[in-house]
Amino acid sequence: MEEIEARLLRAISETPQAVESDAFAKSAGVEHGAVVGLMKSLLTSDFVTAEEVPHSRLVLTAEGREYLDKGSPEAQVFAAIPAEGATKGELKRKLGALADVGLSQAMRQRWVAVDKAPAKAPASEPAAHGNAGKKDKKKDKGENDRIIREADGIVDEVQQQLHAVVSGQALDAGVAEALRKRKLAVAEAWKTYRLGCGPKFALERRRAAADLTADMISKGTWRDKEFKQYNFDALGRPPACGALHPLLKVRAQIRKVFTNMGFQEMPSNAFVESSFWNFDALFQPQQHPARDAHDTFFLARPATTPLERIPADYVARVRSVHESGGFGSTGYGGPWREAEAEKNLLRTHTTAVSTRMLYALAARGFRPARLFSIDRVFRNEAVDRTHLAEFHQIEGLMCDEGLTLGNLVWTLQTFFKRLGLEKLRFKPAYNPYTEPSMEIFSYSEELGKWMEVGNSGMFRPEMLRPMGLPEGVNVIAWGLSLERPTMILYGIDNIRDLFGHRVSLSMVKRNPICRLGYSSGEPGGSGGEGELTPAASR
The letter for the amino acid at 434 is T
Percent composition of the chain: helix, strand, coil (DSSP 3-state, to 5): 40, 20, 40
Task: Point out the residue whose Cβ comes nearest to ligand FB9.
Answer: 479
CB of 215 to ligand FB9, least distance (A): 54
CB of 486 to ligand FB9, least distance (A): 8
The letter for the amino acid at 238 is P
356 vs 484, beta carbon nearer ligand FB9: 484
Strands in 112-114's sheet, in edge-to-edge order, are: 86-87, 146-149, 112-114
159 vs 355, beta carbon nearer ligand FB9: 355
CB of 367 to ligand FB9, least distance (A): 21
Residue 125 CA to residue 135 CA, distance in Å, equals 15
84 vs 445, beta carbon nearer ligand FB9: 445
Contact 12, 196 (CB under 8 A): yes
Contact 323, 311 (CB under 8 A): no
9 vs 250, beta carbon nearer ligand FB9: 250
Instruction: Please name which of 168, 172, 165 lies closest in space to residue 186, comparing C-alpha atoms.
Output: 165
Instruction: Please name which of 520, 442, 528 lies closest in space to residue 478, comparing C-alpha atoms.
Output: 442
CB of 342 to ligand FB9, least distance (A): 24
Residue 290 CA to residue 536 CA, distance in Å, equals 41
CB of 429 to ligand FB9, least distance (A): 8
152 vs 445, beta carbon nearer ligand FB9: 445
60 vs 281, beta carbon nearer ligand FB9: 281
CB of 24 to ligand FB9, least distance (A): 59
CB of 482 to ligand FB9, least distance (A): 8
Instruction: Please name which of 430, 427, 425 lies closest in space to residue 449, comparing C-alpha atoms.
Output: 425
Query: What does the binding site for ligand FB9 look like in residue numbers (CB under 6 A)?
Result: 351, 393, 395, 421, 431, 434, 451-457, 477-481, 484-485, 488-489, 532
Q: How far apart are the first and last CA of the chain?
A: 42
Residue 40 CA to residue 198 CA, distance in Å, equals 12
27 vs 494, beta carbon nearer ligand FB9: 494
CB of 262 to ligand FB9, least distance (A): 18
Rounded to an integer, what is the distance from CA 371 to the centroid of its chain? 36
The vertex-211 CA angle with 207 and 216, nearest 5°, equals: 85
Contact 519, 418 (CB under 8 A): yes
The letter for the amino acid at 125 is E
161 vs 455, beta carbon nearer ligand FB9: 455
Q: Looking at the chain, how many residues does it have?
A: 538
CB under 8 Å, gap of 24 or more: what pairs does 25-31 form? Answer: 28/4, 30/4
- The alpha carbon dihedral of 250, 256, 259, 261 has a sign of negative
131 vs 404, beta carbon nearer ligand FB9: 404
CB of 479 to ligand FB9, least distance (A): 2
Q: How far is CA 532 from CA 178, 422, 510, 516, in A?
A: 64, 10, 19, 5
87 vs 393, beta carbon nearer ligand FB9: 393
CB of 468 to ligand FB9, least distance (A): 20
Contact 465, 474 (CB under 8 A): no
Instruction: Count Cβ neighbours within 10 Å for each residue of 465-477 and write b for 16 or more, e otherwise.
Output: bbbbbeeebbbbb
CB of 460 to ligand FB9, least distance (A): 10
- The SS3 call for residue 341 is helix
CB of 507 to ligand FB9, least distance (A): 18
193 vs 415, beta carbon nearer ligand FB9: 415
Residue 440 CA to residue 456 CA, distance in Å, equals 7
334 vs 491, beta carbon nearer ligand FB9: 491
